[in-house]
Structure 1
Amino acid sequence: MELIDRIKWVLSLKKRARQTPGFRSSLSSYASPDVTFGENVRLWGGTKLTNASVGRFTYFAGTKASNITVGAFCSIGPGTRLGGMGDHPISMLSTHPVFYSTLEQCGESFADRDHFNEYKRTAIGNDVWIGANVVVLDGVTIGNGAIVAAGAIVTKDVPAYAIVGGVPAKVLKHRFAEADIERLEQLQWWNAPVEQLRECAALVRNGNIDGLEKKLGAPARESNPHASAPVPAVSGY
């Protein structure tokens, strides 16, 4: 990262804080100008974000993330790497980009055009917890409510409310019964207004889905114009 970019970022922090309620960042963190934030986002511990969209109340600690969409209420642990690493084809005779990419990674290209999508966008759902030192590869989608154990390398899509771990990451269990997962996916509580969620805090802590449904009524997306974009459903492992 150029020194001038770092200086521009530091100088822009007060303006970002005025424009986005509750936004905070450490001086050691950085986000490129194309990154968008929801309210109450936090960047801590040398986080670096480029070409990203981040939902409200999500926080990062020493995370490197690029070409990614991150939902609301996500907890991203230290030392994580989310997308932006690039991919290589394995069906061609060579995996070297000089043959299929026009980006000239080595100062030269033998390709007439781009023959392979090197940088697929990564998508993290809402209410996702990603532990320390996790790697999520390009193009992976992690469903709402999922948990990724520390040290995992995620190479394929993760279903909603699954707990995954290992290298490569595998589903260890699901957090709730299938019927309850469907109810939470339908409810979309993460899109409800802040004051309404504040009133529902005890219901969330106690796992009271019935009470949460009664309190929030229809899916929260219908009553919130700033709702997070839905994450595509994934079939999992």
Structure 2
Amino acid sequence: MPQPIFPRPGDNNTCNLREAVTNPHITVGEYTYYHDFDDPRKFQEKNVLYHYPVLNNDRLIIGKFCSIAHGAKFLFNGGNHKAKSCVNYPFAIFRDLWDHELPINDSWDNKGDIVVGNDVWIGFEALIMAGVTIGDGARIGSRAIVTRDVAPYSVVAGSPAKQIKKRFADEDIALLEKIRWWDWPEERIKGNLALLMGDIAALRQAFGQ
């Protein structure tokens, strides 16, 4: 069911990202929002960079209930000049100038999709590189440069980003992954908001084995 593009009355800096994205190679789950000090509706033009799916068939996949802060960027394969080439210069993209038949995408390494799980928080001006998968419930620090996969419910920060800590104990992470609250019906979520916004001990008591 479509949501209003601006979920908070009077706030035109926060948008339901799913309603703002039109690129078929970008998939966004329900209730994920993006905040921008300018215009959040320009996300796919300003924040998804070097994305040439017609050449690479690469995708940006973002789950449900994610929170994405101003300036977070997703840097795709077109920004990765070919590492195994003898030169850095991308001759393949200048076909007319150099009169060759090389495929254009021979200029860069194709590391694959960027996949963001559910309930992920991505901080101010963080940079997510091509081929990275971010697990459910993870937190990405402001201006982090994420070059490797991020485990579910971990906190990463820095350049390159490294794990600072796990948000919860392993058994609690397993519980959260098991209940997958983001897949609940809306009414069930509404009925459990206090529990979801509370501490993990109460959730464990309510849903633990």
Which TM class, normalised by the smaller chain length?
0.7 to 0.9
Contact 2:120–2:136 (CA under 8 A) maintained in structure 1: yes
Alignment match, 2:184: 192
Task: Look up the equivalent residue of 2:86 and give its one-letter code.
Answer: L
Bigger share in helix: 2
* Structure 1: segments with no counterpart, 5+ residues: 1-19, 30-40, 218-237
Q: How does 1:10-159 map to 2 (within 5 A)?
A: 20-24=1-5, 42-43=16-17, 50=23, 51-62=25-36, 63=43, 64-65=47-48, 67-84=59-76, 86=78, 87-99=80-92, 104=93, 107=96, 110-111=101-102, 114-115=105-106, 117-118=109-110, 120-159=112-151
TM-score (norm 2): 0.73
> Which structure 1 residue ranges, 4+ long, deviate > 3 Å from structure 2?
47-50, 105-110, 112-119
Contact 1:204–1:212 (CA under 8 A) maintained in structure 2: no
Asked if residue 163 in structure 1 is aligned to residue 144 in structure 2, the reply is no
Secondary structure at the aligned position of 2:194 is classed as helix
Q: CA deviation at 1:113?
A: 7.5
Deviations 1:83-133 (A, max 9, x none): 33622231221233334xxxx367555525855653621000000000111
Task: Look up the equivalent residue of 1:21 and give its one-letter code.
Answer: P
Asked if residue 176 in structure 1 is aligned to residue 157 in structure 2, the reply is no
> May I ask how many residue pairs the two structures share in their alignment?
177
Structure 1 residues 59, 163: CA separation in 2 closer, same or farther (over 3 Å shift)? same
Distance in 2 of aligned mates of 1:25 and 1:97: 41
TM-score (norm 1): 0.65
* Structure 2: segments with no counterpart, 5+ residues: 37-42, 52-58
Of all paired residues, the percent bearing the same amino acid is: 31
Q: CA deviation at 1:78?
A: 0.1
Contact 2:95–2:102 (CA under 8 A) maintained in structure 1: no
Partner of residue 210 from structure 1, selected from 192, 201, 204: 204
